[in-house]
Amino acid sequence: MVPNNQAAAADLEIRIADLADPSDRRDFLALLDEYARDPFGGGEALPEVCHRELPEKLVEFPGAFTVLAYRDGKPLGLTNCFMGFSTFVCKPLVNIHDVVVSEAARGVGVCTAMMDKVAEVARERGCCKITLEVLEKNHPARAAYRKCGFKPYALDEEFGQAEFWQRYL
C-alpha cells in the first residue's frame, strides 16, 4: 500500500513554467501573491508593479526559471530559481529564491516533487549544488527542506552557520 502523501504526489504535474504563456503567468502571479500574503512571505499582497511586470522581467532575466506544480489542472505550488556560481567549486549552482505551496496542498509531497524537478534541472546544467534561504521560525518549511536533503550551511562548524543578510538600495 502506498502512503497517502506518496499517492498524492504521484498525480502531480511538475513542469518548468512558460511565463510568456498567459495561463502560466496567471497561475504564477496567483501563487506568488498567496505567498506574499502569508506571514512568512511578508503578510502583504504582491505589489501591483509585480503583477504588471514581474513575469516579463523574469523571462528576460538570464538564468531564471520557475517550476510549477499542478493537480487536475489546479496550481498548487511554485519555485523561483536563479542560476549562480560557486567560486570554491568552479561550477554553476541554482539558488531557489521563492518556494510556494498553497495552504490546502501542504504535507502531500508538492514541495518534494518541485525540489526533485529543480534538482533535475540543476544536474542538466552541470550545477554543484542548490541553495535556498528559510526563515528561522518557519518550522514547516525547514522540515520540508530537510526532507529534501537541504541542511544549514557552514564551511567549518567551529565558525558557525552561514547567515543570509541583506542591504536595501
Confirm whether 61 is domain-assigned: yes
pTM of the model: 0.90
| Inside any domain, residue 166 | no
Full residue range of the structural domain in which residue 35 is found = 4-159
Q: What is the largest CA-CA distance in the chain?
A: 54
What average pLDDT score do residues 109-134 get? 97
Whether 65 and 84 have beta carbons less than 8 Å apart is answered as: no
The pLDDT score that the predictor gives to residue 91 is 98
- The answer to whether residue 165 sits within a structural domain is no
* Residue at 84 is within a domain: yes
pLDDT of residue 8: 58
Instruction: Tell whether the torsion through CA atoms of 41, 42, 44 and 48 is positive or negative.
Output: negative
Looking up residue 115, the CATH number of its domain turns out to be 3.40.630.30
Number of domains in the chain: 1
